[in-house]
Structure 1
Amino acid sequence: MSSTRVWFITGASTGFGRLMTELVLEKGDTVVATLRKPEVLGELSAKYDSTRLLVLELDVKVPEQIATAFAKAQETFGRIDVVFNNAAYVVISEVESAHGHDDLVRDMFETNFWGALHVSQAAIKCFRDVNRPAGGRLLQLSSMLGIEGMPAVAFYVAAKHALEGLSESLARELDPAWNIKVGDTYRARTLPNIRARDITALPGYTTTEAADGRAWMDKIGGTSVDDPRKAVIRFYELASLPEPPLRCAIGKPAIESMNKKAQSLLADAGAYASWSEGLEITE
C-alpha cells in the first residue's frame, strides 16, 4: 500500500463521516466522500482540488448507487485503500411501541445493515480484484450497542448486532493472501446531527427502563463525553495498523461497556456449565 491512501467514506455529511473526511484530507490522503446531498460539502470541494477530493452522491439503501460510486472512485484514482463504512441513523422505540411502524424500522435496517453489507461487498471486491497489489482496510463504524443491548433503541441495537456478526464472519472468510483487514470500532456516545426517528412510547412504558433509555438518548443527543475529533484520529490510526484488531473500543465508556459484557458472558457460562454435563449421545 502506498504512503498516500485513497479513502472511501460513507455518510460524509455529518458526524464521524464528516470529521474523518476532514482529517484524512488534512493528513494528505485522498478522499472519496459519499453522501445523499453532495452540496453539503461545498466548502471542502472549494478548498481541495479533484486530485484530493471526489464528492459523490450516494444513498447506501440503493445498491446501484453503491456500484456506481465504487466504479467512479476506481476509475478516478485506480484503487481504494480504506473504506470507512459509517452511514447509519437511530430509530428510538421500544420493541412493542414499534408495532404498526415496520416501515420506519425497515428503512433503518436498509441503511444500517443492508447498506453496510453492500458497501462491504463492494469494498472486498475492489481490494482483491482492482487494487494492485491486492489489499485494503474495511473499517466498520459500529457501536457499543452492537455488543450490549439498551432499552428504547432495540432496533438500532439489532442492526448493529447484525453488523457485528457479519464482520466477524467476513473476517474469517477472507484468504490471508488478499491482504484485506476487517475491523469494527466502537463509541459509547452519539455525535451532533445524527439523524434519529422517534416512535411514541406506549403508555405502559413510562415507568420502565425504556423511559430511562429515552431520557438518556435525549440527554446525550448532540453531546459526547470525549472529543469526537480526537476519537477520529484513533480511527485513522486503526486503519494504519498492519494487523488491526477485529474489535476496538475507543473511549473509556466503550471500554467499560465491553468489559461489562465480557464479564457477564463468562459469569453466565460458568454458572450453568454443569447443565451441559451428561448430554452426550449414548448407545
Structure 2
Amino acid sequence: MAPKVWLITGSSSGFGRIMTELVLENGDICVATSIEPTALSDLFPKYGKERLRLVNTDVTQVDEVALAFSVAEQAFGHVDVVFNNAGVLLAAEVEGTPEDRAKDLFDVNFWGNANVLREAVRFFREVNGPERGGKLIQVTSCAGISTWPTLGYYAASKHAMEALARTIVLEVQPEWNIQIMLVEPGFMRTPMLNFEFHNKLAPIPAYATPAAEQTRADMVGERIKGDPQKAMELVHKVAQREKLPLHLPIGADAVDLIQEQVAELTRALDEWGSIVKDVVFAE
C-alpha cells in the first residue's frame, strides 16, 4: 500500500510533534507546518525530503496556509490526511482577561483553524478529487462542548470551532468523499498546558480565593493524568479506519465533562420541553 501524505499544523510540540513522529514511524509522509519548523530539524536527517517537509506556516495568515498545501501538492501530488491542530491556551477568569489577549487566542484557535479547514476541504475536492477524497482531523477540546473555570475564552474558541466544523460536515457533498473527525481531548500533560498555566494571568481580587487557586492548581503538572502520547496513538489508529467517527472524546475527564453537559441539557428538556416547543403560530 502506498504511503499516505499527512499535513500537520502546530507540529513543533505537543500533539503535533507526537503525531508527526507517529506518521513517519508508521511509514507515511508528513508535511509538518509550524511557526517554529526548526524544532523538527532533528527528524530530517532520519527521514529526508522524500518523507518529511518542514514548512514555516502561521495559520492566521491565509496565504501561508495556501502555500503549505501548495508545497504538499508540488512535492507529493496530494494530501490524504490533514491534522488541524495549531492552538494556544490562556488561563484567566473572563473578567480578568484583557481583550487583546482574548483576540489573539481567537486568531489562532478559531480563525487560524478555520483557514486550514476551508483550504483542506477545497484541496480535497479540487486537487485530490472524489476518487481520493480526504480526511480532516480537527483537534478541538472537551472544553468545546463543556467548559471549566478560567478557560472561558479558550472554551469559547473551541465551541466556535466545533460549530464551524460541524456546519462544514453538513455542507460537504457526499460525492466529494471528504470525512471530518472532531478530536475532543480532556486535560493532557503537554508542554502547552504546563507552560501556559505556569505563566497564567493573575486573578483580579474578587477571584483570588483558595477555591479558585485550587482550580488552577488542578490543571498543571502531575495532577494532569492525560497522556498525550497515548492520546495521539489512539487518534492515529482511528484515522486508519475506512469510516471516521464525527466525535472522538479522549480521556476520562473528557467523558465525564461531556456526560455532565448531556445530563444538564437533558434535565432542561425534561423540565421545559413541553412548554418551550409551544411557541408557534396558531394554525
Cα distance in structure 1, aligned partners of 2:48 and 2:81: 20
Q: Is the 8 A contact 1:190 1:221 kept in 2?
A: no
Cα distance in structure 2, aligned partners of 1:223 and 1:178: 44
Partner of 2:241: 241
The secondary structure found in structure 2 opposite 1:91 is: coil
Q: Is the 8 A contact 1:7 1:82 kept in 2?
A: yes
Change (3 A) 1:3 1:252: farther
Change (3 A) 1:91 1:66: same
Partner of 2:203: 201
TM-score of the pair, normalised by structure 1:
0.92
Cα distance in structure 2, aligned partners of 1:191 and 1:164: 22
Cα distance in structure 2, aligned partners of 1:50 and 1:61: 26
Q: Is the 8 A contact 2:23 2:30 kept in 1?
A: yes
Partner of 1:214: 216
Tell me which moved more, 169-178 or 200-209: 200-209
Give unpaired runs (5+ residues) of structure 1.
none
Cα distance in structure 2, aligned partners of 1:122 and 1:251: 30
Change (3 A) 1:276 1:38: closer
Give unpaired runs (5+ residues) of structure 2.
none
The secondary structure found in structure 2 opposite 1:49 is: helix
Partner of 2:119: 122
Q: Is the 8 A contact 2:10 2:85 kept in 1?
A: yes
- The 5-angstrom pairing of residues 178-193 of structure 1 reads 178-193=176-191
| Cα distance per residue 1:54-104 (max 9 Å; x no partner) | 011111121111111111111111000000000101111111112xx2111
Structure 1 residue 46 corresponds to structure 2 residue 45: yes
Tell me which moved more, 54-63 or 221-230: 221-230
**Of 148, 151, 159, the match for 1:150:** 148
Cα distance in structure 2, aligned partners of 1:274 and 1:157: 30
Partner of 2:163: 165
Partner of 1:255: 255
Q: Is the 8 A contact 1:16 1:191 kept in 2?
A: no
Structure 1 residue 109 corresponds to structure 2 residue 106: yes
Opposite residue 95 of structure 1, the aligned amino acid is V
Cα distance in structure 2, aligned partners of 1:277 and 1:170: 27
| Cα distance per residue 1:115-162 (max 9 Å; x no partner) | 000000110111111114241011011111001111111000000000
Cα distance in structure 1, aligned partners of 2:48 and 2:125: 28
Cα distance in structure 2, aligned partners of 1:108 and 1:11: 14
Change (3 A) 1:25 1:230: same
Partner of 2:91: 92
The secondary structure found in structure 2 opposite 1:92 is: coil
1:222 Cα shift? 7.4
The secondary structure found in structure 1 opposite 2:183 is: strand
Structure 1 residue 135 corresponds to structure 2 residue 133: yes
Opposite residue 47 of structure 2, the aligned amino acid is Y
Change (3 A) 1:169 1:15: same
Q: Is the 8 A contact 2:141 2:184 kept in 1?
A: yes
- The 5-angstrom pairing of residues 51-62 of structure 1 reads 51-62=50-61
Q: Is the 8 A contact 2:142 2:254 kept in 1?
A: yes
Tell me which moved more, 220-229 or 51-60: 220-229
Q: Is the 8 A contact 1:141 1:184 kept in 2?
A: yes
What number of residue pairs does the alignment pair up?
A: 278
Opposite residue 122 of structure 2, the aligned amino acid is K
1:254 Cα shift? 1.6
Higher-helix-fraction structure: 2
Partner of 1:267: 267
Opposite residue 84 of structure 1, the aligned amino acid is F
The secondary structure found in structure 2 opposite 1:8 is: strand
Structure 1 residue 75 corresponds to structure 2 residue 77: no
Cα distance in structure 2, aligned partners of 1:226 and 1:60: 26
1:251 Cα shift? 2.1
1:252 Cα shift? 2.1
TM-score of the pair, normalised by structure 2:
0.92
Cα distance in structure 2, aligned partners of 1:212 and 1:258: 22
Cα distance in structure 2, aligned partners of 1:157 and 1:227: 21
Opposite residue 133 of structure 2, the aligned amino acid is G
Partner of 1:65: 64
